Structure 1
C-alpha cells in the first residue's frame, strides 16, 4: 500500500502544474473579479434589460431591487436564491471543466513521457509491478486531477461566502442569499462536487483507459495514436451505415458528462436551507442510479482491459 501511495505522490509531483496550479490560478482570477466588483460596485454602470423596462443601475442592490420590482416580491424570491447560489459557487464550474480538459492531456503524456525521458529505467528497478504503475497513473491523471480541482473550487466558494458575509450589504443579508451560504448547503455542495468527479471519471473511464493504452503503445506523438483509430472507425461507420457514428456519439456523451444527468431546479421554487441541501443530495442519488446501466459496467470492463494492456506493453517494452 505504501508503494502505491508513493506512486500516486510521484505522479502528482510530476504533473503538479496541471493538477494543482491550473485550478488555483483560475480560482484566483475569479476571486480577483469578485473582490473588484465588491469594492467598485458603486462606480460601475450595469445595464439590465427586463421584459418591459430598461433599467440603468449602479450597484448589486439595485440589480436585485430591479428584479423584485419587475417580477414581484414572491416570484422574485426563487430567482434571487438562484442568483445567490450561482454567485457563491460559480468557481466550481469553470475549475472542474478546465480540470477535466487537463486530465485528458495529463493521461495522454503519462506513459509516453516516462519512456521519452528514460525515467522508466529507474521505475523498473523498483519493486513495483507494472500493473500498479498503470493503475496509479490512471487514478492520478483522472480522479486525482478532478479532486484537486474540486477541493480548490470548494475552498474558493468558502472564501466567496466569507467575502459576502464580511461585506454585509443589504443584498447578501436577505433570506434568499443566506440560504445559499448555509453550512448545510455548503457541505452538500462539496459532497455533490466530489460525487460529480467520481461518477464523471467512472463514466469517462473507457476514454481515459484508451488514452492510457495509446500513450503506452505510441512510439511517438501519442495524440495521433490516440485519435486516429477511433476517427478511422467513425469514418468507416459513417460510410457503411449512413446513419452517423455510434462510436463518436459514445465518446462524446462520456467526455461531455451528459450521462450524469445533473439538473439543479433553481429559480422556480424557493427552498429552505435544508430543502436546498436535500435537493443537492438528490442529484448524487440520481448519478448513483445511472450506474445501473449496462453501458456503465461494459465501459468499466473495457477500462480494466485497457489498464491491463497498458501494464503488459510497459512490461515488455522500454523504448
Structure 2
C-alpha cells in the first residue's frame, strides 16, 4: 500500500487540529455575529445619516464606514488572540492530557504534526477571519440597502460611501502580510508549548518582558519594548498603512505594495527565526514525555 502524499497528510492533520480546537473557527464567528447584530440595530440612524450625506456632510460618511471597520477590527483581534492561546497550548496540552501517546502511535511524523499546528495560526486563522468579515459586512450592506430603499432614499448614496471593494481587496492582502510578519511569534509560542510543563504563557512572555522592564528602570529607555511592539503589532502597519509607516491608512488599491514588504530584511530575518523555532519544537516533541 503506497504512502499518502504529504499534502494529504498535512490536510488531515490540520482538520484534526480544527476538530480538537473548535474555538479557532467559532470565536471569530461569534464575535462577528455579535458585531453584526449591533451594526444592524444601529441602522435606525441610517436614513438620517444618508440624508445628511446627500446634503454634503462628510462626517456622516466617515461614521458610515466606521461600523464596517469596527466589525473587521473586532473579528481580526479575536482571531489573533485565539491563535495565540492555541499556539501556546497546542503541544503542551497533548502532553498534559496524555493524548501525545495516542497521536504518536499514528503514522504521522513529529515534523508533520508541528507544521500542521503552525498552519492553524498562520494559514487557517487569516482565512477564517476574512471569511467571517466578508460574510458579516455583506449582510450589513444588504440590510442597509433594504433600509435605504424602504425609506425612499437612492441606494447609490449608500453604495458610494460604503465602498467595500477596496476593503475586500486590501483585507486579504493585509492578513497575509500580518501572518508572515508574525510567523516568528507563533513559532516561538509553539516552541514554548513544546518545552514548558506549566503556564506556557509566562515562559513565552518572561524572556522579553523582564529585560524590557529592567531596561526601562535602569536606563529609562525602551529599545527592547519597541522591538517587541514592532514584531507583535508592526504587521498591522506593514499591511494596512501607506508605506508601512502607520501614518495614513490604505484607502485605495494602488497603495498596496507587496514588493516593498517582501524586500524588508526584518521579514526574512523573522522567517529565519521562525524556522529555527519550529525545528526546535519538532525536536522537543520527538523527545518529550507526557507531563
Class of the TM-score when normalised by the shorter of the 2 chains: 0.7 to 0.9
> Does the CA-based 8 Å contact 1:104-1:208 persist in structure 2?
yes
Pick the aligned partner of 1:251 from 224, 228, 236.
228
* C-alpha distance 66-172 of structure 1, shift in aligned 2 (>3 A): closer
Pick the aligned partner of 2:90 from 110, 114, 128.
110
Q: Distance in 1 between matches of 2:167 and 2:86?
A: 27
Structure-1 residue corresponding to 2:168? 190
Pick the aligned partner of 1:281 from 235, 253, 261.
253
Q: What RMSD in Å do the two structures reach over aligned CA positions? A: 2.6
| TM-score with structure 2 setting the length | 0.83
Bigger Rg, structure 1 or 2? 1
Structure-2 residue corresponding to 1:4? 10
1:203 aligns with 2:181: yes
TM-aligned CA deviation for residue 318 of structure 1 = 2.1
Structure-2 residue corresponding to 1:149? 129
1:294 aligns with 2:278: no
Q: Distance in 2 between matches of 1:160 and 1:67?
A: 19
Pick the aligned partner of 2:210 from 215, 232, 252.
232
Structure-2 residue corresponding to 1:139? 119
> Does the CA-based 8 Å contact 2:36-2:136 persist in structure 1?
yes
1:60 aligns with 2:46: yes
TM-aligned CA deviation for residue 87 of structure 1 = 3.5
TM-aligned CA deviation for residue 103 of structure 1 = 1.1
Q: Distance in 2 between matches of 1:225 and 1:294?
A: 28
Pick the aligned partner of 1:177 from 158, 161, 165.
158
* C-alpha distance 37-85 of structure 1, shift in aligned 2 (>3 A): closer
> Does the CA-based 8 Å contact 2:53-2:157 persist in structure 1?
no
Structure-2 residue corresponding to 1:35? 40
Cα displacement string for residues 50-86 of structure 1 (whole angstroms, at most 9, x for unaligned residues): xxxxxxxxx43334445666xxx3xx3x555444433
Structure-1 residue corresponding to 2:104? 124
Q: Which runs of 5+ in 1 are unaligned?
A: 42-58, 265-277
Q: Distance in 1 between matches of 2:130 and 2:204?
A: 27
Q: Which runs of 5+ in 2 are unaligned?
A: 1-6, 243-249
Cα displacement string for residues 205-246 of structure 1 (whole angstroms, at most 9, x for unaligned residues): 221111111111101111121122222333454466x25243
Pick the aligned partner of 1:310 from 274, 281, 284.
281
Count of aligned pairs between the two proteins: 275
Q: Secondary structure at the match of 2:257?
A: helix
| TM-score with structure 1 setting the length | 0.77
1:26 aligns with 2:31: yes
* C-alpha distance 248-195 of structure 1, shift in aligned 2 (>3 A): same
Cα displacement string for residues 245-284 of structure 1 (whole angstroms, at most 9, x for unaligned residues): 43321221222234415248xxxxxxxxxxxxx954234x
Pick the aligned partner of 1:219 from 172, 182, 197.
197
Q: Secondary structure at the match of 2:182?
A: helix
Cα displacement string for residues 160-193 of structure 1 (whole angstroms, at most 9, x for unaligned residues): 11112222155863544223566xx44x433322
Which deviates more from structure 2 when the two are superposed, residues 116-125 or residues 170-179?
Answer: 170-179
Q: Distance in 2 between matches of 1:33 and 1:171?
A: 24
Q: Distance in 2 between matches of 1:174 and 1:2?
A: 47
